Amino acid sequence: MSSIIQLLPDHVANQIAAGEVVQRPASVVKELLENAVDAKASDIKLIIKDAGKTLIQVVDNGVGMSVTDARLCFERHATSKIRNAEDLFSLHTKGFRGEALASIAAVAHVELKTKQEQDELGTHIIIEGSKVTTQDPAVLPKGTSFLVKNLFFNIPARRNFLKSETVELRHILDEFHRVVLAHPKINFSMYNNGNEIFNLPFGNYRQRIVNLFSFKTNEKLVPIEESTEIVKIHGFVGKPEFAKKTRGEQFFFVNDRFIKSGYLHHAVMSAYEGLLKEGAQPSYFIYLDVPSHTIDINIHPTKTEIKFDDEQALYAILRASVKHSLGQFNVAPVLDFDRDPNLDTPYSFQNKEASFPTIQVDATYNPFKEEEPKKVKSGFSGTSHYKREPSANWESLYVGLQQSAQEIVFENEVVTSSLFQEQDEPENNFGISYQIQKKYIVSPIKSGLIVIDQHRAHQRILYEQFLTHLTLSQAPSQQLLFPLELSYTTLELHLLKELQQPLEAIGFQFETIHDNGLILKGVPVSIQEREVVSVLDTLLHQLHEGIPNAGFSQNDSVAKSMAKSMAIKSGVQLSVEEQQAIVNKLFACKEPDVSPFNKPTFITIDVEELDKKFFR
């Protein structure tokens, strides 16, 4: 029998390896940005087009590469970071495996321009699918420029699995945030389709966070700092009142490398215990500095997971540090220049103990006992006497009160029939409904009774209303007396711009959308002004994982999200009129049986089924 095992060709092996490293355009952005940081660049520029599907370019002013290094960097397992296995436990750089550039070159058109400062000429290399087409000397500035075009051009199946441009851009922004937050001493800029998204100058950690998200982020941050033999912790945590429903602004960095750790996240959340609403997520930007020999970062292909030697001690230190910082924030005095000095405690009373008042009770006091004349001393000679006259005929005060009370008519009172009045008349039963546990609406029908889930029913009603408004673009809007200014991050603003047209069709009216937020001048009539922030936050949270391209699918997603966030929740008391409105509007819908999320909105119970409960 002939052998069936054979070695794979290099180009096939490179494409298989690329599947581990290059999952989407954001993976390329991550590797190229980290290489630029390792090259000791002080200025890094990221340029993308069509969310990275067409073009990804990273330009830096780092040390550059020689002619030999420029060619070797595209070979598999070629790296300048490690020489032996022991180096894996003393890493201070980002990339070290030597697979990133080889994997990228296997699935894209790559163009490299690089030059070292001492060289007169640089190197220009063009690679297509792991094959070097040209390599020429060129006049170039100091540094390196990587240009990646037509990602997955030779793997159509992988390219077809890419999400919409909005989703892919969100992943690119996530990777960009993770790199720039770890290196505030480097200037970063980012351009998408020719538009500048970020221009982050040199600064400290707080300045980088504020420049990256919004200027209002500064007032939300509480500094955290702790130094021990095991770990040095510094960074910022968000104030509890600014917690959101999303987990976007949560970052851990270990030795300037972004990591994901559910264990450390639990430590932070436990420090917020009792300070957050249910489901709320605080923001945090925490930097951990640990000895490199106490961690193992080579346990995950993307190097976002790290194994610590002593996780329990790290958990306890982090939890205590966050709790201490939040405690300092809550009890720290505020410097108030408008303070009234007259309200200060005089120095002569500062060390004195407070005297507590004494209470004396007259156990013999009788309020119905006639008072005897009291002698009151006066400055004049003689005495004066006072005697309270008893109230005569006090019963007459209540004469006619019952008759007059019956004549009182309240203008706003709605008179309804008794709960069990006229139950023997079938034609009067169908206008009656009852609420059970502030969750279900029960109404009699000809065959028995119907039980409606008020939350799901209202979801179906709102969903079909929003779909109609999105289709016809004729939703009513209420103008705000004072425009409402809201602050959002760059990613959230990008999502809102994508949703601007459907939101305007629902009834939102945008006055302007600027770099740090937006201004609303009108909202749908079904939303109160105080609910706008919660509704938009819920919408962003539910659509954060991906928005379909423009069309019916996008309108459907927006309608579902808005209906879910605005529907009446379980536990809300409804009047009889509100119950009847839900019942009538539900059965006027096209599909009253299910909610927008395919959950049943009501069930029916026949009389025969009720009879079986009593005659078993």
Residue 499 lies in a domain: yes
pLDDT tens, 510-554? 888 877 778 888 888 878 888 888 788 877 776 665 555 445 567
Structure tokens at 239: 């104030």
Looking at residue 530, the DSSP 8-state letter turns out to be G
Looking at residue 343, the DSSP 8-state letter turns out to be G
* Per-residue pLDDT at 332: 40
Closest by CA to 28, choosing from 66, 65, 63, 55, is 55
- Same domain, yes or no, for 88 and 16? yes
Which residues in the chain land under pLDDT 50? 96, 331-335, 376-386, 404-430, 549-550
Q: Say how far apart CA 424 and CA 336 lie, in whole Å.
A: 71
Task: Please write down the HEC assignment for all residues of 383-422.
Answer: CEEECCCCCCCHHHHHCCHHHHHHCCCCCCCCCCCCCCCC
CA gyration radius, the chain:
36
CATH code of residue 224 = 3.30.230.10
- Same domain, yes or no, for 483 and 466? yes
Residue 95 lies in a domain: yes
Residue 144, beta-bridge partner list: 60, 114
Domain end point (choices 180, 200, 220): 200
Give strand ranges (E) for 160-240.
Answer: 187-192, 195-200, 221-227, 232-238
Report helix, strand or coil for 196: strand
Structure tokens at 543: 């659509």
Domain span at residue 503 reads 426-616
Helix (H) / strand (E) containing 144? strand 143-149
Instruction: Count up the domains in the chain and report the number.
Output: 3
The shares of helix, strand and coil residues in the chain, as percent rounded to the nearest 5, are: 35, 25, 40
Residue 403 lies in a domain: no
Residue 155 near residue 107, CB atoms below 8 Å: yes
Report helix, strand or coil for 188: strand
Residues in the chain: 616
CA distances from 128 to 17, 132, 162, 257 (A): 16, 7, 21, 31
Residue 115, beta-bridge partner list: 143
Residue 520 near residue 526, CB atoms below 8 Å: no
- Same domain, yes or no, for 324 and 195? no
pLDDT tens, 300-350? 556 677 888 888 999 999 999 999 998 877 544 444 555 555 556 665 666
List all residues 6 or more positions away from 297 whose beta carbon is below 8 Å from its beta carbon.
Answer: 91, 254, 257, 303, 306, 307
Helix (H) and strand (E) counts in the chain: 17, 24
* Per-residue pLDDT at 444: 86
Residue 308 near residue 261, CB atoms below 8 Å: no
- Same domain, yes or no, for 167 and 242? no
Domain end point (choices 287, 304, 330): 330
CATH code of residue 145 = 3.30.565.10
Q: Say how far apart CA 97 and CA 79 lie, in whole Å.
A: 7
* Per-residue pLDDT at 77: 67
Q: Say how far apart CA 44 and CA 30 lie, in whole Å.
A: 13
* Per-residue pLDDT at 96: 47
* Per-residue pLDDT at 422: 40
Domain end point (choices 200, 222, 251): 200
pTM for the model: 0.68
* Per-residue pLDDT at 136: 92
- Same domain, yes or no, for 574 and 520? yes
